[in-house]
Chain A
Amino acid sequence: MIEIHDLHKDFGDLKVLKGVDLKIKPGEVVSILGGSGSGKSTLIRCINGLEKITSGSIFVDDFDVRNKKDLMEIRKRCSTVFQQFDLYPHLSVLDNIALAPINVLKQNKKDAKIKAMELLRSVELEEKASVYPAQLSGGQKQRIGICRALAMEPNYLLLDEVTSSLDPEMTAEVLVILKKLAKEGITMISVTHEIGFAQEISDRIVFLDEGKILQNLSKDEFFSDEGGKSDPRIAKFLSKMGNQ
């Protein structure tokens, strides 16, 4: 369970998150929507401690993100997939995936690589195991990014605009994998611009506006005319994103 209470995050004078309360239960797939600058990515980056929170609290399975020791435990439980992939360019695809399991989870090297290979197979990239990231397409890199996150066997998968740097074709190949994962019951928190994707995989939609949660509704409610769409801000956002 991820519990966020009254979360504030400032960057200097700029207040990005202004009191966010959110609970995410195990097995839930939650999409966080909102315009640019609404604080969506910052919210995810606060959960894994990449941004230090200004005030409020975040607990992941009762571990406190403000506590250094707890944070390491949180990071083991939450794996992040990044918008720009951020793979390690000096390591082969296989080693990119196996690095953290070997060095953080202290898995045996051979086992970790066998598992990495299985993950590669599941995203149909096993023939790229010994290739370096520079030789991959964006879509392939992101599939590796997903494998790298899954190799940690996380309780929570944090997706930070994972398709924003991809063209539609590559986006499709990444979304197929994520849909499959959502069905398998992994807890996912996804910051995204892909309304269609959010609609398809999410149990719940959180709409963030100017650093606050405007709506926190089940998917069906959010996309219904009486629910989310009755809010003019959300209606405007959805129509702008091409969803009627």
Chain B
Amino acid sequence: MYGDQGFTIFDLQLWAEGLGITFGVFLSSSILGLIFGSIIGLIRYYNIIGIGRVLMLGSEFLKNSPVLVQLFLVYFGIPALFTIDLSPVEAAIITLSGNTAAFIAVIVISSIDAIDKKQLEAARSFALSEWQILRLIIYPQSLAFAMPMFVSLAINQLQVTSLVSVIGVVDLTRVGDIINQRTFEPFIVWPIIGVTYFVLAKLVERIGARLEQRFSVHQASSEI
């Protein structure tokens, strides 16, 4: 009968694969989100060609609408609009990257705002170029401000990856669902899945704490 076949060694393999997918989706969307979010934040800060406002509007939409809706929009919308095939994993990474980028952009802008602007004037008065000011003064200081926010965002986005199971990505949550449906042992399966997320989150937190320490304001880039 369906649902009472007990656990097998293959469940462990399935779990490991799900973990790999979850982590892969998380990592790639975090990196892409960081890159695009930073670009959006900088465009807004320097108000390049006046598109900053438009980008921020987009990022407001991504921040204030359900990720699941965004996921459906990308997974079903993009193939329909551009007549291209999109695998569930691709759709998942695109969606989460966009969503992460929206939050990163806001963090980047607020972190740059937190810097005392008069020191930038001082730097300008010493003939440093805008690029040098960005690289040597704005970047290290705003990174120190941003780091704790980046870390809590990362932990949040890790949990959000579980939504991608809905469009058929076989991530950790989907694996839990598959094993549960077969074994009917929800009180074994879901705690294990939950603890896996928990351990992953703790790992991210640990790494984040290290980075925070490394980039704390007074230590940041003390070598010039």
Contact = CB atoms under 8 A, between A and B. Distances in A.
Contacts of A102: 224
Interface stretch (B13-21, B42-50, B126-134, B188-196): B126-134
Interface in B129-148: 132, 136-137, 140-141, 144
Contacts of B90: none
Contacts, number: 79
Contact of B119 (A48, A88, A92, A103): A88
Contacts of A109: 224
Contacts of A98: 224
B218 A75 contact: no
Contacts of B123: 88, 99-100
B222 interface: yes
Interface in B177-222: 217-218, 220-222
Interface residues of B, number: 24
B124 to A, nearest CB: 7
Majority secondary structure, B binding face:
helix
Contact of A89 (B121, B128, B136, B217): B217
Contacts of B118: 82, 84, 86
Contacts of A90: 137, 140-141, 144, 217-218, 220-222
Contacts of B124: 49-50, 75
A163 interface: no
A209 interface: no
Contacts of B220: 90
A89 B127 contact: no
B141 A48 contact: no
A79 interface: yes
A104 interface: yes
A50 B126 contact: no
Contact of B218 (A80, A89, A103, A148): A89
A109 B224 CA distance: 8
A104 B217 contact: no
A229 B119 CA distance: 38
B123 to A, nearest CB: 7
Contacts of A99: 123, 126, 128, 136, 224
Given A82-B118, A90-B144, A104 B126 contact: yes
B128 A103 contact: yes
B126 A86 contact: no
Interface string A51-88: 00000000000000000000010011011101010111
A134 B218 contact: yes
A75 B217 CA distance: 28
Contacts of A95: 222-224
Contacts of A103: 128, 132, 136, 224
Interface string B22-61: 0000000000000000000000000000000000000000
A134 B116 CA distance: 13
B65 interface: no
Given A50-B121, A87-B119, A79 B222 contact: no
24 contacts: A49-B124, A49-B125, A50-B121, A75-B127, A76-B127, A78-B125, A80-B122, A82-B118, A82-B121, A86-B121, A86-B122, A87-B119, A88-B119, A88-B122, A88-B123, A89-B141, A90-B220, A90-B221, A91-B221, A98-B224, A99-B128, A100-B128, A104-B126, A104-B127
**A-B CB proximity, top 7 nearest:** A75-B127, A100-B126, A86-B122, A132-B218, A80-B125, A86-B118, A104-B127
